[in-house]
Amino acid sequence: MCKNDPEIQYILSKIGDTVRFTFPKGEPPMVGVLKDRYVICTTPTKAGVKYWDVVDLIKFQDEPEDFIRIGYFRMPAGRRQPRLAGQTTITETVTQWKRILVETARKREWFRKLLEEACREMKK
């Protein structure tokens, strides 16, 4: 397991930091706090690039509900610290995540099977 790797500790050290989302013209930024984070290790690529998937819990100012962001960090060979690859994350409220999961599971059998299998695994 990689939970004690220095890169994991670095990624987790960001809990409590300010999170800022900026948008195209006309939309105000969203500012919040990273409340929690879970890190999943992945296998490095053949080129030596290391990746870590992350699931974040964020509290944005003036928002009544927490948000969940799913993204990843990457660290090319020779780099000292991982970097958030935040341009390709999905960030939604907890309620919207539930809607995404339920609605997709109802409409796509392959996704429903994945969720059912994940639920069985959690019970082990």
CB 80 within 8 A of CB 56: no
**pLDDT per residue over 9-30, tens digit each?**
999 999 999 999 888 888 899 9
**pLDDT per residue over 28-66, tens digit each?**
999 999 999 999 988 788 888 889 999 999 999 999 999
Cβ density class 49-58: b for 16+ within 10 Å, e for less: ebbbebebbb
pTM of the full structure: 0.86
Find the farthest-apart pair of alpha carbons in the chain and give their distance in angstroms, rounded: 49
Tally of CB atoms within 10 A around 74: 15
